[in-house]
Structure formats: C-alpha cells, structure tokens
Copies of this chain bind each other. A is one copy, B any other.
Amino acid sequence: MPHLLDGDQHELDPLERQVVAVFVDGVRVLGLPRSIGEIYGLLFISQSPLSLDDLVLRLQISKGSASQGLRALKSLGAVREAEVGAERRTYYEPAIELKRLVGGFIREQVRPHLESGKTKISRLAETAQEIDDQERREFLGERIERLETWMRSSGKVLPILQKILGQ
C-alpha cells in the first residue's frame, strides 16, 4: 500500500538530495549513468555503510539499477564492501581518496580507449602506405604522424595527472 503523505522515513532529506545532485552532475560529465551518481552520492554522505536494499529504498531505484551500479562502482574502485560483523547482507562504503577514484577511472575508462585508438591508428598507417598518389600519401603520413603524437602526449599526461590529484 503506497503512503499517502510521503513523510516517509526512507526519503532523502534536503541535504542528501543536494549531495546526490552534485554527484549525478559529476558522473554525467564522466559519461556515467545517473544511478551511479546517486548511489555514490548517497554513500558519500552516509555516516554508516549501506546495503543494496538501503539504496533501493532510499533512492527509489530498482534492485537491478542498484546491483549494476554497485558493480560498476566496485570495478572503478569507488566503493568497497564494508566489514560488518556477523551480517549476511553486504554493506558498502565509498572510497573517498581522489587518487583512488581518478586511478580507477583512468584504468577502466581511459586506458582501454587509448589502447584501441592506438591500434586503429596503426592500421590506418598501414592503409596509408598503400596509397598510390605520392602527394596524397605524404599528406596522410603527416596527419597520421600527428595522431600518433597526440596519443603519446595523452599517454604521458595520465601518470602526471594521477600524481597531482593524489594529494
């Protein structure tokens, strides 16, 4: 039976809502779905670890979303399972060190794309070799060279980024 006045214990209070909104926006910039921002946001502002059911209840999202969102956050290293004595249910708490978050994001989202980009560009270079028209081939060589430089720069920047953000 639905509650008529929604004065429910489980609903987010205004401050929680604000925090969740911050993270929803944040993950959106990173290209991650809203539910991931909601989950991380609520964990971030909770004083004690939360279970999947807590998230479902308080964020009003489906079990499916909560389960998938937690999986993604775990793989990013953004949440971990909390040690809770003698409980069957698992509870989650957020990783709050920027270093860790950035590291996970780079590992999971950035590196794979960089790698596949490099592969594609190698194949490109091969295709360009086969062009007959010399002028065209030289032009392509220059442009592909530039792409390779971009890739090298990007690769170089990541560890530096991590270093700066690890403070």
Q: Please give the residue numbers on chain A whose beta carbons come within 8 Å of chain B beta carbons, in ascending order.
A: 14-15, 18-19, 21-22, 25-26, 29, 31, 44-45, 47, 96, 98, 109-110, 113, 116-117, 120-121, 123-124, 127-128, 131, 136, 139-140, 143, 146-147, 149-150, 153-154, 156-157, 160-161, 164-165, 167
Cβ of B25 and Cβ of A124 under 8 Å apart? no
Query: A86 to nearest B CB, angstroms?
Result: 25
Chain B residues closer than 8 Å to A44, beta-carbon distance: 143
Number of identical protomers: 2
Main secondary structure of the interface of A (DSSP, over half): helix
User: In the docked arrangement, what's the CA distance between A109 and B30, Å?
Assistant: 11
- The residue that A47 contacts in the complex, of B116, B139, B150, with Cβ under 8 A, is B139
Shortest beta-carbon contacts, A-B, top 7: A29-B113, A15-B127, A22-B120, A157-B164, A31-B31, A18-B124, A153-B165
Query: A5 to nearest B CB, angstroms?
Result: 23
Query: A65 to nearest B CB, angstroms?
Result: 21
User: In the docked arrangement, what's the CA distance between A148 and B121, Å?
Assistant: 39
